[in-house]
Amino acid sequence: MGIKPELRSKIKDIIPLISEIVEEVNKLSIELQKEELRNKYSELLVTKPKQERTGLPPLEGAEQGNVITRFPPEPNGYPHIGHAKASIIDEEYAKMYGGKLILRFDDTNPEKERLEYYAAIKVGLDWLGVKYDHVKNTSDDMEIIYSKARELIDSGNAYVCTCDKETISNNRREMKPCKCSLGNKDQNITRWNKMFDKFKPGEAIVRFRGNMNSDNTVMRDPTLLRIIDELHPIHKDRYRVWPNYDLAVAIEDSVDGITHAFRTKEYELRTELYYALLDKMNMRKPKMLEFSRLEFQGMPVSKRVLKPLVEEGKVSGFDDPRLPTLEGLRRRGIVPEAIRKFILSLGFTKSDTMPPFETLESYNRKMVDPTSVRLFIVFDPVKLRVINNSLTEIEISNHPQTEMGKRKIVIDGTFYISGDDAKTLKIGEEIRLLEAYNVRITKIGQEIECEVIDTGHKSNIPKIQWITQKNPVNVEVLIPKILFNDDQFNEDSLEVKRALTEQYYLELNVGSEIQFVRFGYCRKDSASQAIYTHK
C-alpha cells in the first residue's frame, strides 16, 4: 500500500483478494512459507537500513540561496547554552539553504545593556564556531524606528498614552480603552514630540492600537516605545525614546531582509502582534517560528538565579564549571562540536523538556576521546614499595589508539597508589602495576610491600595505576555536581579532591583534555588544577 498509493482508493475491491491469499499462505507450514519467500521474493528479505535524518527538519517556504536568519541577543549578560541553541539553529538553517546569518544585538534597553556583553557574546559565538555574515545593532537603526513609529501615529495605528502603569494594567485586564486612545492625531503628534524632551520617563508611552477585547492579552494596546534616560552603552545620551522588543524586532527583521526568524516558545503569543505590526507598517513579513528553550536539569540559565550566586560567592564567577554558561562549559572541558551535535539531536520542537546533561557528556566523550592523553592519577595516596625492583625508567604511550607519542617515567621501586585500590588488597594477592610489572603483595601496613613476579601482561588480575614517588605532581581536581536540587542550591555542588599525577601533566597545555586512567576525563585548568569533565 505504501509502494502503490494509487491502489488505496480501490481498497474495497482488493481486500477479498488479500484475504484469499493470506488464507492460502497460512495453510502452508512456516518452513514452506520461508522457502517460497526465498525463491520468489528474495528482495523482500533484504532489510534496508533506515537512514536517519541528520540535522534539522526542512524549513517551510525556504528557497535555496534565499534564506536569511538572524541571531538577536540582548547584550545584557554572558552567553549560555540557550544562546548556543538559538545561534546554532540560526546558523544551521542559513547553511542548509546557502543563505546568510545576521548577528544583531538587540540593544534597546539602556538600563540593562553593557558594552562588555557585546564582546562576551561575540567571544561565545566564536568559540562555538558559529559564523555570521553580518553584525549590527538595533540601536543603529533608531532613525528608521522613529520614522516607522511616526507613521503608525500618523495612520492612527498608535497613540501616545500618559496614563500611569496601574491604570493601563487595570484597563488591560478589564478590556477597557483609556481616554488617551481617543485623542486625535494632533494630540498624539504633540505628545510624541514632547517625549523627546518635555516628558519624564514613565510619563508617556507610545501604544499600538491593537484590540482591547482580544483574548490574547498582548494585543490589548501594547507598549511600543518608552522613555529611558539611562546612558546607552554605545549611543550614550543620543536617544531617550526607545522601542521595546516587539516593535524593534518587527522592524529590524523586516528591514534586515530576514526570511525566517526563530525565537523561543515564550514569545509565541507575541507572534500575532509581530504580524499585526508589520501589517500596519506595510512591511514585508518574515516567517516566525518558535522552539522550546534549552535548559539542563538542576542547571538554571536565568540571570535572576545565577547573578546572586556569583555575587554571594557561591560560585566562582560566570565561568564556574558548574554553570551552563558557555565559559563554564568550556572550562569544564565541553567542546563546541559536542554542543552542536547535541543541540541538533534535540531537533526543532516546541515540547518542554529538560534533557539530562549526560547526553551532552556522551557526545563530548566521543569527541574528546581520540585526542585525550592518558595519564595516571592517584587519590588518597598510599605508599607501595617493590622490594625487588630492577627498573629505572618506563615508557608509556600517551594514547591506546591514536598516535600521540610516548612519555618516559623515572621510577625507583616506590610508588603511590590510590587509597581505594589499596583498601582492596590482600596479602598474597597478585596485581599488575599498569605498564610496569606484576607484583605479589607481601605486607600491608602504613605502607604496602610487594615483590615483582613477572612483567608480561596478564588479563585476569587487577590492574591499577600508580605514581612514582620520584616526582609526583600535586593537583586539585574540581568535580562539578548538580547546582540545584529542585529549587534548592546544592551546597556540595563542587567537590575538590587532592591528587597526585604524573610529571607529564606539567608539559600539557592549559585547556587540554586528559583522560586520567580509571578515573575520567578532565580538562587541565592550570598547572595545579584540573576540572572533571565526565567519566
Partner RNA sequence: GCUCCUGUGGUGUAGUCCGGCUAAGCAUACUGCCCUCUCAAGGCAGUGAUCCCGGGUUCAAAUCCCGGCGGGAGCACCA
240 binds RNA (CB under 7 A): no
Q: Which stretch binds RNA (CB under 7 A): 176-184, 226-234, 496-504, 524-532?
A: 226-234
Map 339-370 to HEC letters: HHHHHHHHCCCCCCCCCCHHHHHHHHHHHHHH
Contact set for RNA, span 461-490 (CB under 7 A): 463-464
Q: Which stretch binds RNA (CB under 7 A): 86-94, 349-357, 383-391, 525-533?
A: 349-357
Contact set for RNA, span 256-275 (CB under 7 A): 265-270
Q: Of residues 349, 371, 474, 528, which one binds RNA by CB under 7 A?
A: 349
Contact set for RNA, span 60-119 (CB under 7 A): 72, 74, 106, 108-109, 112
Cell numbers describing residue 11:
481498497
Contact set for RNA, span 378-407 (CB under 7 A): 400-401
User: Which of residues 2 and 65 has its CB atom nearest to RNA in the complex?
Assistant: 2
User: Which of residues 320 and 381 has its CB atom nearest to RNA in the complex?
Assistant: 381
CB of 361 to RNA, least distance (A): 7
Angle of helix 115-128 versus helix 81-96 axis, rounded to 10: 60
Contact 109, 142 (CB under 8 A): no
CB of 86 to RNA, least distance (A): 11
Distance CA 282, CA 456 (A): 81
198 binds RNA (CB under 7 A): no
Q: Which stretch binds RNA (CB under 7 A): 125-133, 355-363, 475-483, 501-509?
A: 355-363
Contact set for RNA, span 120-149 (CB under 7 A): none
Contact 436, 391 (CB under 8 A): yes
Contact 76, 114 (CB under 8 A): yes
CB of 313 to RNA, least distance (A): 26
Contact set for RNA, span 170-189 (CB under 7 A): 172-173
Contact 476, 505 (CB under 8 A): no
Torsion sign over Cα 307, 311, 313, 318 = positive
Distance CA 113, CA 8 (A): 60
Give ∠ CA 126-128-130 in degrees, rounded to 5: 65
Torsion sign over Cα 105, 111, 113, 116 = positive
Distance (Å) of CA 292 to CA 191, 260, 351, 410:
40, 16, 6, 55
User: Which of residues 315 and 378 has its CB atom nearest to RNA in the complex?
Assistant: 378
242 binds RNA (CB under 7 A): yes
Contact 223, 181 (CB under 8 A): no
362 binds RNA (CB under 7 A): yes
User: Which of residues 320 and 505 has its CB atom nearest to RNA in the complex?
Assistant: 505
Q: x/- contact string, 8-47, with RNA (CB under 7 A)? A: x--xx--x--------------------------------
Distance CA 352, CA 157 (A): 36
Q: Of residues 33, 66, 216, 388, which one binds RNA by CB under 7 A?
A: 216
Burial 207-225 (b: 16+ CB within 10 A, else e): bbbbebeeeeebbbbbbbb
Contact 263, 293 (CB under 8 A): no
User: Which of residues 362 and 490 has its CB atom nearest to RNA in the complex?
Assistant: 362
Q: Of residues 156, 308, 370, 419, which one binds RNA by CB under 7 A?
A: 370
Q: Of residues 82, 151, 211, 244, which one binds RNA by CB under 7 A?
A: 244
Q: Of residues 57, 65, 428, 445, which one binds RNA by CB under 7 A?
A: 57
Alpha helices in 393-519 (DSSP H): 419-424
CB of 316 to RNA, least distance (A): 26
Cα within 13 Å of Cα(444), Cβ side: 12
Contact set for RNA, span 424-443 (CB under 7 A): 432, 434-436
Q: Of residues 96, 346, 404, 508, which one binds RNA by CB under 7 A?
A: 346
Q: List the one residue out of 128, 392, 352, 141 whose CA is nearest residue 248.
A: 141
Q: How many chain residues bind RNA (CB under 7 A)?
A: 83
User: Which of residues 408 and 527 has its CB atom nearest to RNA in the complex?
Assistant: 408
Q: Which stretch binds RNA (CB under 7 A): 91-99, 124-132, 239-247, 314-322?
A: 239-247
User: Which of residues 220 and 280 has its CB atom nearest to RNA in the complex?
Assistant: 220
User: Which of residues 320 and 437 has its CB atom nearest to RNA in the complex?
Assistant: 437
Distance CA 109, CA 76 (A): 9
Distance CA 229, CA 237 (A): 7
194 binds RNA (CB under 7 A): no
User: Which of residues 67 and 224 has its CB atom nearest to RNA in the complex?
Assistant: 224
